[in-house]
Amino acid sequence: SLVTSEQMLLDAQKGGYAVGAFNVENMEMLKAVVAAAEELRAPVMLQTTPSTVKYGTLETYYAMAAAEAEKATVPVCLHLDHGSSYELVLQAIRAGYTSVMIDGSHLDFESNIALTKRAADAARACNITVEGELGKVGGKEDDLEAEADNNTDPMQAKEFVERTGVHSLAIGIGTAHGFYATTPVLDKERISEVKELVSVPLVLHGASGLSDEDVRECVSRGMCKVNFATELRVAYTDAGKKLLKEHPDTFDPKKLGTVGMEAVKQFVKNRILVCGCDHKA
Ligand code: 13P
Ligand code: ZN
Ligand code: NA
């Protein structure tokens, strides 16, 4: 059955590797991620964003994840990614999610703490793990703005974790969601500085478009969970496009799903190896 992210992230922190957290949009992507984790004996996190749960509903993703986790022999966690409100966090927990993120990173420091603590208190009462975010991960449009002032202040990170009680913390180091127009400037030293002061596992967002070397260095400096979203969506859709180009008469969704699943599985296996979480389950 589904597990929280607590033990897998603490094990990663202790072992100096990161758990891969993969955003899924449908049954095929979800099955592909679990199959990849199973083949490489890796603990794994499946995650869905608010726009994804609006598309498919929390209950549907939960049912699919629970069914796959039941068959799996590796630990599988189902996580709400970028939870946008206290209410959505509660809905996810009620639906059966075993981990949640409350994202107050757009708020000022005190408001972020207030929102995050409220969500963390509720989640803890249900034995569910909580990820908070301090500092900013850039969006698709502002590649040039992901500069130092969006990066997390280590002293503030320490205070944030102590006052909110989060189990893990996403920090800004210059990454952005989506692909990068130009090579991102990552403040990797910042990870070591935050790790020095913060006891909980650290989370890297926006990993699509980062080189294997960049991901490896971020992990070796203390990132214990790495989020991949855009790359999976592209891998899935490109496989379908290729099939339709080669066989324009394709009409069976199973054919499209099968090539998409295979592409996502290969991609996830590569990223699991880069994160170093293979053979840790
Ligand atoms: P990417 O889309 O850049 O992989 O970012 C993933 C992410 O941070 C999901 O929360
Ligand atoms: Zn993110
Ligand atoms: Na990215």
Residue 257, pLDDT above cutoff 80: yes
Rounded to two decimals, what is the model's pTM?
0.96
Region 212-237 average pLDDT? 98
State which amino acid sits at residue 21: A
Ligand nearest to the backbone CA of 21: 1
45 lies in some domain: yes
Cβ atoms of 20 and 44 closer than 8 Å: yes
Q: Which residues, including other chains, have CB under 8 Å from residue 153's CB and lie 6 or more apart?
A: 135
Instruction: Give pLDDT, residue 239.
Output: 98
Instruction: For residue 119, give the CATH number of its domain.
Output: 3.20.20.70
228 appears as a binding residue in the annotation: yes
Ligand 1 contact, 229 CB (< 6 A): yes
158 lies in some domain: yes
Output phi, psi for 96, to 5 deg: 115, 0
Ligand 1 contact, 271 CB (< 6 A): no
Residue 148, pLDDT above cutoff 50: no
260 lies in some domain: no
Say what the ipTM of the complex is: 0.99
Residue 147, pLDDT above cutoff 80: no
Q: Is 222 exposed, middle or buried (0-12, 13-18, 19+ CB in 10 A)?
A: buried
239 lies in some domain: no
State which amino acid sits at residue 108: D
Strand, coil or helix: what is 5? coil
Cβ atoms of 110 and 76 closer than 8 Å: no
Instruction: Give pLDDT, residue 138.
Output: 82
CA dist 183 → 158, 175, 220 (Å): 29, 10, 20
Q: Which helix or strand (DSSP H or E) is residue 100 part of?
A: strand 99-102
Instruction: Give pLDDT, residue 99.
Output: 98
258 lies in some domain: no
227 appears as a binding residue in the annotation: yes
Instruction: Give pLDDT, residue 140.
Output: 52
280 lies in some domain: no
Substitution site in 49, 208, 264 for ligand 1 pocket (most atoms within 8 Å of beta carbon): 208
Alpha-carbon torsion 201, 202, 206, 212, what sign? negative
Neighbours of 31 (CB within 10 A): 19
| Cα 112 to Cα 118: distance, rounded to the nearest angstrom | 10
Average pLDDT score, the chain: 96
> Among the atoms of ligand 1, which is closest to the Cα of residue 82?
10
Residues spanned by the domain of 131: 6-233+267-275
Q: Where are the alpha helices (DSSP H) in the chain?
A: 6-15, 27-39, 50-56, 58-71, 86-95, 109-125, 154-164, 188-197, 212-220, 230-246, 253-275
Residue 94 Rama label (left phi>0; alpha psi -120 to 50; beta): alpha
Total of domains in the chain: 1
Instruction: Give pLDDT, residue 34.
Output: 98
Cβ atoms of 70 and 50 closer than 8 Å: no
Residue 141, pLDDT above cutoff 50: no
Substitution site in 33, 228, 236 for ligand 1 pocket (most atoms within 8 Å of beta carbon): 228
Residue 54, pLDDT above cutoff 80: yes
Which of the residue ranges 29-43, 62-76, 146-160, 166-180 would you say has the lowest mean pLDDT? 146-160
Identify whether 252 is a catalytic site residue.
no
Instruction: Give pLDDT, residue 149.
Output: 66
174 appears as a binding residue in the annotation: no
66 lies in some domain: yes
- Which residue matches tokens 């214990």? 224
Find, among 257, 237, 256, 258, the residue nearest to 248 by Cα: 256
| Cα 144 to Cα 155: distance, rounded to the nearest angstrom | 25
Instruction: Give pLDDT, residue 150.
Output: 86
Ligand 1 contact, 228 CB (< 6 A): yes
71 lies in some domain: yes
